[in-house]
Structure 1
Amino acid sequence: MITISLCMIVKNEKDVIGRCLSCVKDIVDEIIIVDTGSTDNTKEIAKNFTDKIYDFKWIDNFSSARNFSFSKATKDYILWLDADDIILEADKKKFKNLKQNFDPSVDIVMMKYNVGFDDNGKLTLSYFRERLSKRIKDYKWREPVHEYLEISGKITNSDICITHKKEHPVVPRRNLSIYKKIISKGNTLSVRGLYYYARELYYNGIYNDAIEYFNKFLDTNLGWVEDNISACLNLSICYLNIDNKKNSLTSLLKSFEYDTPRAEICCQLGYYYFNDNEYKKAIFWYKLATQLEKPRDGWGFVSHDAWSYTPNIQLCVCYDKIGDIEKSIEYNNRAAEYKPNDPAVIYNKKYFEGLKSNLKYKKATL
């Protein structure tokens, strides 16, 4: 059976680090904690699980800290987690089974990262990350922020999920600040850096600058296909926020240059036409979103509602707008299959019941 080193970088994680280490302690054989400047009792809590705790001076570079943590590993494979990650019980069982029956020819194991949830705890956003890596391959982390492990060799996808359970918001503009420091020093952003810097600008509502950098990224023609498609979606929303509808539409259509339509893009096209009161055009795109097959093994971001609930609830509204109540009811029922307790679904059901009651009343008074 293989052995596993857990490598983590942390800072002021007293509220979550115990939870994280408790759920993984029976899976791994070594726990390495690299602290980048905690002022709370993060390290004291970590001492209940390991004596391999190291200090690392923070230099605005996540990859440097992660590479330092990896350098301390001694086991066959390295697992990385963030302090606000957990492994649910079902996934712990899968992980233990993977460990016991592991194929040592595998260099990298990809695991799904579940990061977004609705108010009822239903998964809304996930993507694959490189979680388990063969130590002797000496893989390196790249990029100062939004870092990634530069991997090669035999790579396999696993059905094990890591769940992100954030308790506190990220330090405001932390990542944006790091990127701005890099640029202010005259350094050139990598292709990936252009994309993620644009995303940070977008998330912070700096739409004109985000548009500039999304376009710089796309103009390189060197981006990963999934990032290209995501950039087109975010670029479209940026244009909408500055009331540039023409370029918003163009950005969405550009995504088709890179691959077959994605439900996220189709839903945004539906939204575009819905807001223009062009309901039949909106229906076309929302319907297409319901007919697409959701990616299973791709490593890109997957907004699960776009492949299920969102197009159906929007089709309910669109058909109501054009007076086709039967179709409207049909799609509300389909939306209910995904989120039966959603306020919109419940409201629509009451709305349709009201319509039926009024219809019966009118017939009775004729």
Structure 2
Amino acid sequence: MITVSACLIVKNEENVLARCLLSLKDLVDEIVLVDTGSTDRTKEIGKQFGCRIFDFTWVDDFAAARNFSFEKAEMDYIYVADADEVIDEENRKRFMDLKQCILPEIEIVQMKYTNQLQFNTTYNFDCEYRPKLFKRNRRFEWQDPVHETVRLDPVIFDSEIEIIHMPEGNHSKRDFGIFRKLITKGIPLSKKLRSMYARELFISGEDQDFLEAEDYFTSLLSEDRAEEELKIIQCVLTRCGRIKQDGAQILKNALKNVACGKASAEVCYDVGEFFMEMGDLQEAVIWFYNAAYETECELNIRYSKELPLLKLARCYELSGDITQSKLYQELAQNAVEKEALRD
């Protein structure tokens, strides 16, 4: 049977840490707790569970903290955990079974990450695979009988283990602060982080968060971008135009978005909002309908589901068509329930 180090990076997690550590107890062989500056009882709780505790000076870099935690691990495999995660009894059994029968060539185990839509995380699925268990020391192997080469791709296993994500709240404000600091320092954001920044804005950003991000996303247009990324930028800049009631900015970005091919649901939704705020309900209905039925979301799945349907209901209510209003209210509720059942 393999041994496992659980590695966590924490800061002020006293409200949820014990719940997490209790679900890891007797499941892993050591718990490495890397504290990035807690001022509450986080480290005290860690000591109660026998964690190996290390301090790490926070440098606005989660990857640096994760790398530090991996350096402290001593077991065969490393399980990456967060304080707001829980493994229930059924999945604890699956985890233990995995420890007993995992094949030696497997280097990464993916587990199902659940409960994301419920807590407004930056992913559009309630359940998706994420790499969670890593072989600590990788063995390099040569392959092919002639013109031999070292195998570079890791051996990955998709398990049936489900990790329940149960945060106290959304972490977007913290993330927005990190994004802004990186941008101010002139540190380039990767394509992935640019997408995550936009995604978090559309999931939990307030008007001010969008406006503070506007200059950055505008600057991205100075370089050639793939259509996929252009559509994300257009979503952000169209929202900024709507917030400022800048019709020219909305028109410029929305038209480019439509010209890219299939329009983005987020853009159609914001154009609908613009016309609704102007009192042009007939035009607003057209754009909300397109968001709900004729487009796909780029950043937040709700902009192609219940959100435009609720706006359609409101438009018909304002125009005095109560029958249509009730119909779209029911459709919005059905969309929410259908998504919950699918996940």
**TM-score, with normalisation over the residues of structure 2?**
0.69
Q: Shift in Å at residue 33 of structure 1?
A: 0.7
Q: Shift in Å at residue 8 of structure 1?
A: 0.9
Task: Please say if residues 111 and 163 of structure 2, whose CA atoms lie closer than 8 Å, have aligned partners that are also in contact.
Answer: no
Residue number in structure 2 paired with 1:344: none
- Which one of the candidate residues 250, 275, 279 is aligned to 1:273? 275
Per the alignment, do residues 125 and 196 of structure 1 end up closer, same or farther by CA in structure 2, a change over 3 Å counting?
Answer: closer
Q: How does 1:1-366 map to 2 (within 5 A)?
A: 4-25=4-25, 27-87=27-87, 105=106, 107=108, 109=110, 111-112=112-113, 114-115=115-116, 117=118, 126=124, 130-136=130-136, 153=154, 160=162, 162-166=164-168, 176=177, 179-180=180-181, 183-184=184-185, 187-192=186-191, 205=208, 209-221=212-224, 225=228, 229-255=231-257, 260-291=262-293, 301-303=299-301, 305-338=302-335
> How many positions carry a matched residue from both structures?
316
Classify the secondary structure of the residue corresponding to 1:331.
helix
Q: Shift in Å at residue 247 of structure 1?
A: 1.3
**d(CA) in 1 for partners of 2:194, 2:122:** 26
Per the alignment, do residues 40 and 321 of structure 1 end up closer, same or farther by CA in structure 2, a change over 3 Å counting?
Answer: closer
**d(CA) in 1 for partners of 2:294, 2:108:** 32
Task: Please say if residues 76 and 136 of structure 1, whose CA atoms lie closer than 8 Å, have aligned partners that are also in contact.
Answer: yes
Structure 1, gaps ≥5 residues long: 139-150, 341-366
**d(CA) in 2 for partners of 1:277, 1:98:** 59
Task: Please say if residues 60 and 178 of structure 2, whose CA atoms lie closer than 8 Å, have aligned partners that are also in contact.
Answer: no
> Residue 219 of structure 2 aligns to which amino acid in structure 1?
K
Classify the secondary structure of the residue corresponding to 1:47.
helix
Per the alignment, do residues 315 and 80 of structure 1 end up closer, same or farther by CA in structure 2, a change over 3 Å counting?
Answer: same
Classify the secondary structure of the residue corresponding to 1:9.
strand
**d(CA) in 2 for partners of 1:223, 1:113:** 31
**d(CA) in 2 for partners of 1:257, 1:97:** 52
Q: Shift in Å at residue 132 of structure 1?
A: 1.4
Q: Shift in Å at residue 66 of structure 1?
A: 1.1
Q: Shift in Å at residue 194 of structure 1?
A: 6.1
**d(CA) in 2 for partners of 1:256, 1:158:** 40
**d(CA) in 1 for partners of 2:227, 2:34:** 31
**d(CA) in 1 for partners of 2:15, 2:220:** 37
**d(CA) in 2 for partners of 1:207, 1:137:** 43
Task: Please say if residues 116 and 165 of structure 2, whose CA atoms lie closer than 8 Å, have aligned partners that are also in contact.
Answer: yes
Identity over the aligned pairs, expressed in percent?
Answer: 32
Task: Please say if residues 8 and 34 of structure 1, whose CA atoms lie closer than 8 Å, have aligned partners that are also in contact.
Answer: yes
**d(CA) in 2 for partners of 1:18, 1:224:** 45
Task: Please say if residues 211 and 235 of structure 1, whose CA atoms lie closer than 8 Å, have aligned partners that are also in contact.
Answer: yes
Classify the secondary structure of the residue corresponding to 1:281.
helix
Task: Please say if residues 191 and 217 of structure 1, whose CA atoms lie closer than 8 Å, have aligned partners that are also in contact.
Answer: no
Task: Please say if residues 288 and 312 of structure 2, whose CA atoms lie closer than 8 Å, have aligned partners that are also in contact.
Answer: yes
**d(CA) in 2 for partners of 1:80, 1:306:** 32
Q: Structure 1 residues 265-274 or 171-180, which shifts more?
A: 171-180
Q: Shift in Å at residue 110 of structure 1?
A: 6.3
**d(CA) in 1 for partners of 2:226, 2:94:** 33
Structure 2, gaps ≥5 residues long: 139-151, 338-343
Classify the secondary structure of the residue corresponding to 1:7.
strand
Q: Structure 1 residues 67-76 or 275-284, which shifts more?
A: 275-284
> Residue 235 of structure 2 aligns to which amino acid in structure 1?
L
**d(CA) in 2 for partners of 1:124, 1:194:** 12
Please give the per-residue CA displacement for 1:200-224, whole angstroms capped at 9, x wherever unaligned: 9975826555211012234444579
